[in-house]
A = this chain, B = another copy of it.
Amino acid sequence: MTSADAPEDASPVSEIGRMTGFSDGVFAIVITLLVIELRVPEHEPGELLPALLGEGPAYVAFLLSFGYVGVIWLNHHALLRLVRGATLALNWINLWLLLGVVVIPFPTTVLASAFAHGGTDGDRRVAVALYALTAAAMSAPWLAFFAYLRRHPALLAGGTSAAHVAAQRTRPVTGMALYLISGALGWLVSPVLGLVGIGVMIVYHALTSEGVRRRRPRRRRRA
Contacts and interface: CB of A to CB of B under 8 A. Distances in A.
Copies in the complex: 4
Interface of A: 4, 7, 11, 13-14, 17-18, 20-22, 24-36, 38-40, 45-49, 52, 63, 66, 70, 73-74, 77-78, 80-81, 88, 91-92, 95, 98-99, 102-103, 105-106, 109-110, 113-114, 118-120, 122-123, 126-127, 130, 209-210, 213-216, 221
14 contacts: A7-B214, A14-B77, A14-B213, A17-B20, A18-B77, A18-B80, A29-B33, A34-B102, A38-B103, A48-B110, A48-B122, A48-B123, A49-B123, A88-B210
B66 A99 contact: yes
Q: Is the interface of A mostly helix, strand, loop or mixed?
A: helix
Contact of A21 (B20, B63, B120): B20
Nearest to A212: B88
A32 B30 contact: yes
B106 A38 contact: yes
Given A18-B80, A40-B110, 6 more contacts: A32-B102, A45-B119, A48-B119, A52-B126, A70-B92, A88-B213
A141 to B, nearest CB: 12
A45 B123 contact: yes
Nearest to A38: B106
Contact of A35 (B4, B103, B216): B103
Given A110-B40, A123-B45, A26 B35 contact: no
A80 to B, nearest CB: 8
A45 B122 CA distance: 9
Nearest to A219: B7
Contacts of A91: 74, 77
A49 B17 CA distance: 42
A36 to B, nearest CB: 7
Contacts of A77: 14, 18, 91
